[in-house]
Amino acid sequence: MKSRENIPKATIERLPLYYRCLDKMDTFEEVEVVSSKDLGGKLGIPSTQVRKDLSYYGEFGRRGVGYNVNELKTSVGKILGVDRIWPAVLAGAGHLGHALVNYKTFTTMGFEITHVLDNDSTKIGTKINERQVEDIKKMEAIIKENEIKLGVISVPTEAAQDVADQMVAAGIKAIWNFAPTRLYVPDDVDVKNEDLAVGIVSLIYNLSWQEMEAKGE
């Protein structure tokens, strides 16, 4: 395996796609062997890129035969760290929080929201699936007691930094942030911003160009 620093970011970002696809083939389609061409084809990734991506992590598959689906899924899962379930706290039990707790495929990606927190007294005590919404005042204690490293933020923008600060102080090392604002955290804490409004813009950009081209501008 190459040292971590030498692996391109784009490769790392494709690993979850391979994993998800292999998991489906293994669990639902009972496929035993897959070629890099077929695996890439399902994801819109060239087979040469599939082979290159996987080669960073060792030798998988056999030339002319392909990859054993279950073995490759297990290997990629280990690389990704999804061969165990990471518990996570979620702050913010609004509609987005609900949607996240209900999201079925998180556990196959190695992650489970084990605690849901909110500061709204009308929400505290209610249940989302089997999870009871707890008072956000208990967040520090919950994180420490359960040694949780992952935090998910789906609170309003103006509260996000404050919640992040509390999470970091309690020991959270990775924050998945759905509030459309940049969070300031220490260097050893990893933040992934899931800014939903940014996601749409590439589509609008393309629509806009299509229209300009149609008009001959």
Name the one range near a copy of itself by CB under 8 A: 46-54, 73-81, 115-123, 161-169. Answer: 73-81
Binding residues for a copy of itself, total number by CB under 8 A: 57
* Among 99, 120, 146, 165, interactor with a copy of itself by CB under 8 A: 99
Asked whether position 207 contacts a copy of itself by CB under 8 A, the answer is yes
The Cα–Cα gap between 214 and 24 comes to: 40
E strand or H helix at 91, and its extent?
Answer: strand 86-91
> What's the closest the beta carbon of residue 166 comes to a copy of itself, in angstroms?
18
- Closer to a copy of itself by CB, 13 or 145: give it: 13
Residue 212, Ramachandran bin (φ over 0: left; ψ between -120 and 50: alpha; else beta)? alpha
Would you say 41 is a known binding-site residue?
no
Q: Look-up: residue for tokens 């939903």?
A: 196
Tell me the C-alpha distance between 46 and 62, whole Å. 18
Instruction: Note whether 41 binds a copy of itself by CB under 8 A.
Output: no
The answer to whether 151 and 174 are in contact (CB under 8 A) is yes
Shortest separation between residue 15's beta carbon and a copy of itself, angstroms:
7
Q: What is the spatial distance between Cα 217 and Cα 211, in angstroms, rounded to a whole number?
A: 9
Window contacting a copy of itself (CB under 8 A); options: 27-35, 65-73, 81-89, 161-169: 81-89
In what order do the strands lie in the sheet containing 174-177? 127-128, 131-135, 111-118, 86-91, 150-153, 174-177, 190-193
Give 66 or 151: the residue with its C-beta nearer to a copy of itself.
Answer: 151
Q: Measured from the CB of residue 208, what is the shortest distance to a copy of itself in angstroms?
A: 3
25, 54, 150, 183: which one contacts a copy of itself (CB under 8 A)?
150
- Which is it for strands 111-118 and 127-128: parallel, antiparallel or unpaired? unpaired
Residues 170-199 that bind a copy of itself (CB under 8 A): 173-176, 180, 182, 190, 192, 194-199
Binding-site residues for NAD(+), in ranges, read 92-97
